[in-house]
Structure 1
Amino acid sequence: MMKTIFKDIPAYPNKMIAIWLLLISFSISGCEDFLETDDPLGQLPHDEVFSNEATATAAVTSLYGKLRDEVLLTGSSSGMGVLMGLYADELDYYGYPGDTYETFYLHNVLASDPATQGIWDSAYGLVYMCNAVLEGLENAPQLPQQLKQQLRGETLFVRGLVHFYLVNLFGEIPYPTTTDYQINIRINKKPIGQVYEKIEMDLLEAKGLLSDDYPSGERIRANSWVASALLARVYLYNGQWMEAEMESTAIIGNTSFYNMETDLTNVFLKESSAAILQLKPQNEGSNTQEASTYIFDFPPPPFVALSRAMVDAMEPNDLRKIHWIGEVSDGTQSWFYPYKYKQQFNTGTSMEYSIVFRLAEQYLIRAEARAKLNNVSGARQDLNRIRNRAGLENTTANTAEELEQAILQERRFELFAEHGHRWFDLRRMGLANEILGPIKSGWKPTDILLPIPESEILLNPNLEPQNPGY
């Protein structure tokens, strides 16, 4: 139901109808406990949505619900954690032969694959929602200015976040900023550099609009620090080392908000002081989709398991191996699964929220940026902060080049099963061919990008040419 609605929204040139459909989607996806109301949002007249503080806020908080349930960062099987974990060397596949997930694992992805189409449709459906909200806020003079700034900042952050993942998956992509069907149906792809410029513009504006405080008592909506966290990652990926160091340093230094959890068992709890942005479960008492997706109790694995090579590559006394990895054995063979999130079922009161950004990544971002800037001592200090927390001794890396390799390894063991970090690291560092070529029989050097869905190119020839290899 949801996917059909979002796939069809851009086909309506009448903005009033589009907003009405948008509101129906809000009522379907639910507003969690951000908004309590007896009447579904879809029953409200379109011109009242952004004239009311509660419904305007619900429109924005529903964007996070889409990320949690359907788009890119979902902890379900359609999220980046599973798809790009299989695509890289992080997860092994045990599901049905010939399934879409196996095509990612074996690198047999086609331009007609439903999973690729699903990534594209859901992501651009959310971008459309963001643009509809931005237009609604622009035409809502009755809303308090401070609230409008907060809601605009959050929406720009989400739009930048979605495009960040899209550009790293597909390369050159469109960056729509309107709901106008006549414009969007003919939209052109932008070069990667221009996409990053647009992302940076959205995030810098968001950072300037957002308060330093979270809008609610939990870390489930963007503040200025959340925008900084994504900016730090964007700058790292784009080779802007000084800017990456600056943004990550600001977050690390904000000890009144963020602190490294010394106990690894606390890192993924909803109260974690290391969490920068989390996605709250839809229902009270529910926990993360990641736990349901990854944990299995009996051998062999029914769907996916952690790569044995990855587990074996960890140092024997690494505490993350003890606390963040589960093991199932049949007596002769063992399989491993991500166990960062431990609550599979309703616990009455929710205990775990899915983490989008956390402090450890900022230390690793700063370590890499410092290594690139030849600040060896600073890079070592940041890397050792992560290693020591995991019960490991200081790194033996002594040069910038050695540190870059050590940081890549540390990112592998710290960020596994978190929204595809491993794949994006291999891709951006130019290591995918070297590392995946020998272990993936279907690997081709052109697999560094996914194909633009075939149906999208048929609808809009301006999306040509197709990515190489497809």
Structure 2
Amino acid sequence: MKYLKNSSPLKFAVILAVIFLLQSCSDFLEQEPGTQTSINEQLGTKQGVLQAMNGMYRSIEANVRTEAFTTYADLQGGNLKFAPGISTNTTVGQVTTPGNVVNLYSFDDLADKSNLAAFYSTSYNIINQANLILEFTDALTDASETEKNQIKAEALTARAYTHFLLSEIYSQNYGFTADASHLGIIYNNTSITNGLQYPARETVAATYTFIINDIKDALNLYANTVLSNGPAYSYFNKNNAKALLARVYLAKKDWKNAYDTADDIIKNSGVVLMSSADYLAQWQKPDAPVSEVLLEFSIPKDAEGAISGSLAAFFGYTSDSQYGKYTASKDLFDLYESTDIRKQLFKNHPLPTSVNLQKEILNYYFTDKFQGNPGYVAFRLSEQYLIRAEAAIELNNSSQATQDINTIRTRANAAVLKGNEDLKEAVFLERRKELCFEGHLFFDIARNKKDVSRNDGCIALSCSLTYPSPKFILPIPRSNINLNSNLKQNESY
């Protein structure tokens, strides 16, 4: 099994120091009675910086694996519904909204108690960790220029990636206003060792400029040097930094750059699509990711071999008395043709369900994508084909768009497009089917300015959302608003 190793608490000194700084503005971390380690000391050596970078990756992995974030885009968009309760008390068979998503699921998240409040604060802690690494790396005397460039490249990519996730959740899509002058997010490019700052939110246009510049700077620094232990697909590199850039260009509707970047990855990354014959088996592997993965945040494993958790906690199925909370909705399941091999990734498990105070046996479709001990799939090659297809449509290159969509459909044994279809709708639906449960649907809906319509299994107070709406984004947590008087809250919250 392939995992990243957890480091001891001592090796996370810099991460804890960041949190300590946030709380007290002290330059020192009290590790144990009578000893202190300063950030300067921790980050004064290559070993210390690499330990900090390992801690940064662990923080990212833990942040994207939270229940609210992992399920957010697919739950809001209608790909997911809830499995019935499995407890032995009176709740058995009842379908209820999990507490960790109860507010956002009804498009009524609360600023005072947001379901993603921890994600917001942790994201800025991760950004601060990346900034600390960037600020100390150039002064290292025991690292080569190649090593320092690689460290900075990974930290810059981490900073850009985390800001992009925040932008997707807390600011309206790039095309919400004609010039993207609506509220973006705070973009932090210095650490709090320089003093606590209380900045205002950037515009979305400025936010994207910062993100793109960070990725471009990183791409100029990558040295293809392995600095961390564990599988290479678990760390930022030049290929997956380009994949991030392609996704950002797509979200920005910068069609030419989205096309060119995705095209570069498809042609030059050295990664190839999974084959049709191997598609199901690849996803059903219990530990290693699919072969076309560009970045997976793998699960840490401690010295005893235990893992801290995985996506199977939400999507997995072991038996009728042990399964995750989330299953595929028929809204999604019925989109697949009968011949589509991707439909076989959903296993039907009839389960007792309370319906109008009566117990009925209803069908629930659990995905095979995330069984065993799966990590968080951040980027894979199939997405790049669909980015190139969507960009090609907007560039009036319908033949390339049709070819790319058909590449994905042919592999899935689905009927190919004939040439008279609505290509925009075709690529939207192909993304929904191919990338389901990988965190895209709700953002795809917003980017395409579509309405949300959730049918099968929806138990929210509101099952639909008409675009445009302030509810396409979440509130900034009240605690952050109270701390920073320059931080403006999102509309309607």
Q: TM-score, normalised by structure 2?
A: 0.80
Offset, 1:138: 3.2
In structure 2, what is the Cα distance between the partners aligned to 1:170 and 1:330? 37
Q: Which moved more, 1:277-286 or 1:304-313?
A: 277-286
Residue 339, structure 1, aligned to residue 368, structure 2: yes
* Alignment partner of 1:238 is 2:228: no
- The letter of the residue matching 1:9 is L
Partner of 1:412: 432
Q: For the structure 1 residues 330 and 303, does the alpha-carbon distance in structure 2 shift closer, same or farther, using more than 3 Å as the test?
A: closer
> Is structure 2 residue 186 aligned with structure 1 residue 174?
yes
Would the alpha carbon gap of residues 59 and 468 (structure 1) be closer, same or farther in structure 2, given more than 3 Å must change? same
Name the structure 1 match of 2:241. 227
Q: For residue 264 of structure 1, what is the aligned residue in structure 2? A: 279
Q: Is 1:425 matched up with 2:444?
A: yes
- 1:386 Cα deviation after fit: 0.6
Match of 1:186 among 198, 202, 221: 198
Structure 2 distance, partners of 1:285, 1:299, is 22
1:468 aligns with 2:491: yes
Q: 1:278 to 1:300 in 2, by over 3 A?
A: closer
* Secondary structure at 1:219 match in 2: helix
1:344-363 to structure 2, matched below 5 A, reads 344=373, 352-363=374-385
Q: CA 1:116–1:255 in 2, change beyond 3 Å: closer, same or farther?
A: closer
Query: What is the number of residues matched between the two proteins?
Result: 432
Q: Contact 1:225/1:251 (CA < 8 Å) preserved in 2? A: yes
The yes-or-no answer on 1:86 pairing with 2:89 is no
TM superposition score normalised by structure 1:
0.83
Q: Retained in 1: the 8 A contact 2:331–2:455?
A: no
C-alpha distance in 1 between matches for 2:342 and 2:308: 21
- In structure 1, how many angstroms separate the alpha carbons of the residues matched to 2:114 and 2:225? 40
Structure holding more strand per residue = 2
* TM superposition shift of 1:100: 3.7
CA contact (8 A) 1:212 1:225 kept: no
Report the Cα offset of residue 197 of structure 1. 0.3
Residue of structure 1 in register with 2:67 after alignment: 77
Contact 1:379 1:403 in 2 (8 A): yes
- Once the two structures are TM-superposed, the CA of residue 213 in structure 1 deviates from its matched residue by 6.5
Deviation at 1:357, TM superposition (A): 0.7
The CA distance in 2 between the partners of 1:321 and 1:5, in whole Å, is 47
8 Å CA contact 2:297–2:375 kept in 1: the answer is yes
Which is further off, 212-221 or 229-238? Answer: 212-221
Tell me, which stretches of 5 or more residues in structure 1 are unaligned?
28-41, 345-351
How much does 1:166 deviate?
0.5
1:159 alignment counterpart: 159
Cα distance in 1 for residues equivalent to 2:490 and 2:419: 38
In structure 2, what residue type is equivalent to 1:77?
E
- Code of the residue aligned with 2:67 in structure 1: it is S
CA offset at residue 330 of structure 1?
3.5
How far apart are the structure 1 equivalents of 2:25 and 2:161? 26
How many Å separate the matches in 2 of 1:159 and 1:64?
A: 11
Does structure 2 retain, via aligned residues, the 8 Å contact 1:214–1:223?
Answer: no
Secondary structure of 2:165's counterpart equals helix
Q: What percentage of residue pairs aligned between the two structures are identical?
A: 25
> Secondary structure in 1 aligned to 2:449?
coil
Unaligned stretches of 5+ residues in structure 2: 1-8, 84-94, 172-183, 353-360
Going from structure 1 to structure 2, the CA distance change for 1:47 and 1:193 (only over 3 Å counts) comes to: same
Taking a change above 3 Å as real, the CA distance of residues 87 and 256 of structure 1, as seen in their structure-2 partners, is: closer
Q: What amino acid does structure 2 have at the position aligned with 1:340?
A: K
Q: Name the CA shift for 1:99/1:220 in 2 (closer, same or farther; >3 Å).
A: closer
- 8 Å CA contact 2:289–2:296 kept in 1: the answer is no
Q: Deviations over 1:373-410 (max 9, x none)?
A: 010110011111111111112123536xx111001001
Counterpart code for 2:427:
I
1:67 to 47, 52, 60: 60
| 2: CA distance, partners of 1:184 / 1:396 | 58
How much has 1:326 moved relative to structure 2?
2.4
Q: Distance in 2 between matches of 1:335 and 1:437?
A: 15
**Paired residues for 1:272-421 under 5 Å:** 272-283=290-301, 286=307, 289-296=310-317, 297-298=319-320, 303-322=325-344, 324-330=345-351, 332-344=361-373, 352-398=374-420, 402-418=422-438, 420-421=439-440
Deviates more, 1:113-122 or 1:150-159: 113-122
Give SS of 2:268's match: coil
Query: Is the Cα–Cα contact under 8 Å of residues 397 and 406 in structure 1 kept in the other structure?
Result: no
Q: How far apart are the structure 2 equivalents of 1:295 and 1:356?
A: 19
Contact 2:186-2:200 within 8 A present in 1 as well: yes
Note the 1:26-37 alignment, pairs <5 A.
none
Contact 1:261–1:272 at 8 Å: present in 2 too? Answer: no
Q: In structure 1, what is the Cα distance between the partners aligned to 2:289 and 2:107?
A: 38
Q: How far does residue 329 in structure 1 lie from its aligned partner after superposition? A: 0.8
Higher relative contact order (CA 8 A, sep 6+): 2
Change in 2 beyond 3 A, CA 1:243/1:272: same
1:120: which partner in 2?
A: 120
Q: CA deviation at 1:453?
A: 1.0
Residue 470 of structure 2 aligns with which residue?
A: 446
Distance change >3 Å, CA 311–CA 9, structure 1 → 2:
farther
Secondary structure in structure 2 of the residue aligned to 1:462: coil
For the Cα contact (< 8 Å) 1:176–1:184, is it kept in 2? no
Equivalents in 2 of 1:291, 1:300: separation in Å? 11
Q: Within 2, Cα distance between the matches of 1:226 and 1:302? A: 30
Q: Which residue of 2 aligns with 1:38?
A: none
**1:300, CA displacement in angstroms?**
10
Seen in structure 2, the aligned counterparts of structure 1 residues 101 and 397 have a Cα distance that, compared at 3 Å, is farther
Partner Cα distance (1:384, 1:146) in 2? 41
Q: CA deviation at 1:287?
A: 9.5
